[in-house]
Amino acid sequence: MPRRPPVVELTDEVLAECESVLRYEFGSRQILKQSLTHASISRTRLESNERLEFLGDAILGSVVCEELFQRYPTSPEGELTRVKSVLVSRVTCAGITHELELDEFLLLGKGLAAGSRIPGSIAAAVFEAVLGAMYLDGGRDVAREFVLRCLGDQITQVAESAAGANHKSLLQQLAQKTFGETPVYHVMDEKGPDHSKCFQVSASIGSRSYPAAWGPSKKEAEQQAASNALEQLDGNLPR
């Protein structure tokens, strides 16, 4: 579906339409307006949505962490961290923006507004900025409800992949959402007699390879190799 003509002014009518999408009516539309104003068109960076993006990023992480902690009391810290990394990634945030069509309300400079689709980093930022605005206007409960509604089944889907120790499945989700790549597994070595072989397997995403792992079968070695890749990716995902 083609993008509608770019917004040239955030009128009350446009803001009301955005509120309808968000299912929330702001007490102060000025803060909603700021959350939709990109730095490319604002008079100063302080008047753009950048500070609200900073706040929204923290709120998103906090809500997701709390939800995972409560939902999955037996999951270790490493698994929860990997799940959180997927759920708060720029790719996930940009996807929510496009799903809600929040980018249709974004006030941009002429160069960006002329494009058919805004860059993913800007799409992700507007979701976080709007979240920050909702938090300041309505409080944590409003922000939390919005996050959980937007993430929907993704929390369960991603978390259960990790909880089931299906590291290959989780790595595939993470790689495709974050890098647009599918992991590839390579047998690096094998040892032992035919009836009792062990295999060394390495996972790679694009041009980057991750530490190899040994296993009593190719399948188990691949699972461990995926786990090694997930461990290295912790804390190093694009934000």
Cβ atoms of 130 and 6 within 8 Å: the answer is: no
Q: Rounded distance, CA 21 to CA 9, Å? A: 18
Q: Which residue has the tokens 């060394």?
A: 200
Q: Is 128 a catalytic residue?
A: yes
Work out the angle between the directed axes of helices 50-71 and 154-163 (0-180°, nearest 10). 50
Instruction: Determine which one of 57, 67, 137, 222 is catalytic.
Output: 57
The two beta strands, 213-215 and 184-191, are: unpaired
Separation of alpha carbons 202 and 10, rounded Å: 51
Q: Which residues pair with 202 in a beta bridge?
A: 186
Annotated catalytic residue within 79, 103, 128, 137: 128
Q: What is the 3-state secondary structure (H, E, C) of 28-73?
A: CHHHHHHHCECCCCCCCHHHCCHHHHHHHHHHHHHHHHHHHHHHCC
Residue 209 per-residue DSSP state: E
DSSP string, 67-82: HHHHH-TTS-HHHHHH
Strand (E) or helix (H) holding 205: strand 198-205
The residues that are catalytic are 57, 128
